Amino acid sequence: MVNGKRVFFKGVNRHEHNPKTGHTLIKEDMLKDMEMMKKLNVNAVRHSHYPPDPYWLELCDEYGLYVIEEANIESHGLGYDLEFTLANKKEWRNPHFERIKRMYEHGKNHPSIITWSLGNEAGNGINFYEAYDWLKKTDTRPVQYERAENDYNTDVLPPQYPHPDWVAAFGKNKDGRGLIMSEYAHIMGNSLGNFKDYWDAIESTPGVQGGYVWEWIDQSFDTVKNGKRIMAYGGDFPLEGPVDENLSDNDFCVKGVVTAYRGLTPMAIELKRVHQFIKTSLNEKDLKITNTYFFRDINNVKLDWEIVTNGKVVEKGTVIDLNLQPQQSKTITLPIKVKMDPTKEYFLNVSYKLKTAEPFLEKDYEIAANQFALSGSPAPFSQPVVSGNISETKAGDLLELKGKDFTISFDLKKGILNSYKLKGNELIENGPQPAFYRAPTDNDIGAQLNTSLREWRNAYEQNDVTNAQYEKADNGIYTINVNKNILNGQAQAQQTFTVYANGVIQVNNHFTINVAPKFRSLMRLGNDLQVNKKFNQIQWYGRGPWENYQDRIAAADVGVYSQPLSKQYFPYARPQESGNKTDVRWISLTDNKGKGLRVEFTDSLLSVAALPYNIDDLDPASTQTPVSFG
SS (H, E, C) 400-429: EEEECCEEEEEECCCCEEEEEEECCEEEEE
Q: Which fold has domain 383-440+458-524?
A: Beta-galactosidase; Chain A, domain 5 (2.70.98)
- Digit-coded pLDDT (tens) for 57-70: 999 999 999 999 99
Instruction: Report the mean per-residue pLDDT for the chain.
Output: 94
Decide: 195 and 232 in contact? Cβ < 8 Å: no
Q: Which fold has domain 276-375?
A: Immunoglobulin-like (2.60.40)
- 541's enclosing H/E stretch is strand 537-544
Q: What is the pLDDT of residue 622?
A: 53
Q: What is the pLDDT of residue 518?
A: 74
Q: What is the pLDDT of residue 251?
A: 86
Q: What is the pLDDT of residue 245?
A: 78
Q: Is the omega angle on the peptide bond into residue 106 within 30 degrees of 0, that is, cis?
A: no
What residue spans in the chain does CATH classification 2.70.98.10 cover? Answer: 383-440+458-524, 533-630
Predicted confidence (pLDDT) at residue 294 exceeds the cutoff of 80: yes
The arithmetic mean of pLDDT across residues 465-473, rounded, is 93
Domain 533-630, CATH among 3.30.1130.10, 3.40.50.2300, 2.70.98.10, 3.50.50.60: 2.70.98.10
What residue spans in the chain does CATH classification 3.20.20.80 cover? Answer: 9-219+254-259
- Digit-coded pLDDT (tens) for 242-287: 888 787 888 889 999 999 999 999 999 999 999 999 999 999 899 9
- Digit-coded pLDDT (tens) for 352-402: 999 999 999 999 999 999 999 999 999 998 877 788 899 999 999 999 999
Q: What is the pLDDT of residue 315?
A: 97
Sort 216 into a burial class: Cβ within 10 Å, 0-12 / 13-18 / 19+. Answer: buried
Predicted confidence (pLDDT) at residue 528 exceeds the cutoff of 50: yes
Rg (CA), the chain: 28
Helices 195-204 and 266-275, packing angle to 10 deg: 20
Catalytic member of 183, 270, 345, 547 = 183
What residue spans in the chain does CATH classification 2.60.40.10 cover? Answer: 276-375
Distance CA 257, CA 189 (A): 10
Predicted confidence (pLDDT) at residue 624 exceeds the cutoff of 60: no
Q: Which residues contact 94 (CB under 8 A, 6 or more apart)?
A: none
Main-chain dihedrals φ then ψ at residue 303, nearest 5 degrees: -115, 120
SS (H, E, C) 363-396: CCCEEEEEEEEEECCCCCCCCCCCCCCCEEEEEC
Q: What is the pLDDT of residue 627?
A: 44
Q: What is the pLDDT of residue 500?
A: 94
Q: Which residue has the higher pLDDT, 234 or 202?
A: 202
Distance CA 473, CA 339 (A): 43
Predicted confidence (pLDDT) at residue 629 exceeds the cutoff of 70: no
Ordered alpha helix ranges (H), 230-294:
266-275
Residue (of 516, 515, 518, 498) closest to 507 by Cα position: 498
> Is domain 9-219+254-259 annotated with CATH 3.20.20.80?
yes
Residue (of 298, 303, 317) closest to 358 by Cα position: 298
Distance CA 117, CA 192 (A): 25
> Which range, of 41-50, 112-121, 183-192, 381-390, averages the lowest pLDDT?
381-390
Predicted confidence (pLDDT) at residue 521 exceeds the cutoff of 90: no
Predicted confidence (pLDDT) at residue 457 exceeds the cutoff of 60: yes
Decide: 297 and 291 in contact? Cβ < 8 Å: yes
Decide: 182 and 158 in contact? Cβ < 8 Å: yes
Q: What is the pTM assigned to this prediction?
A: 0.95
Catalytic member of 35, 74, 121, 306 = 121
Q: Is residue 74 annotated as a catalytic residue, yes or no?
A: no
- Digit-coded pLDDT (tens) for 189-201: 999 999 999 999 9
- Classify each residue of 302-339 as buried b or exposed e, where b means 16 or more C-beta atoms within 10 Å of its C-beta: bbbbebbbbbeebbeeebeebebeeeeeeeeebebeee
Q: What is the pLDDT of residue 41?
A: 98
Decide: 287 and 330 in contact? Cβ < 8 Å: no
Q: What is the pLDDT of residue 249?
A: 84
- Digit-coded pLDDT (tens) for 539-555: 999 999 999 999 999 99
The helix/strand/coil state of 101 is helix
- Digit-coded pLDDT (tens) for 584-614: 999 999 999 999 999 999 999 999 999 999 9
Distance CA 145, CA 151 (A): 10
Q: Is residue 83 annotated as a catalytic residue, yes or no?
A: no
Q: Do β-strands 44-47 and 9-14 pair in parallel, antiparallel, or remain unpaired?
A: parallel
What is the DSSP track for 119-188? -SS---SHHHHHHHHHHHHH-SS-EE-GGGTTSSS-SSB--BS--HHHHHGGGG--S-S-EEEEEES---
Decide: 416 and 400 in contact? Cβ < 8 Å: no
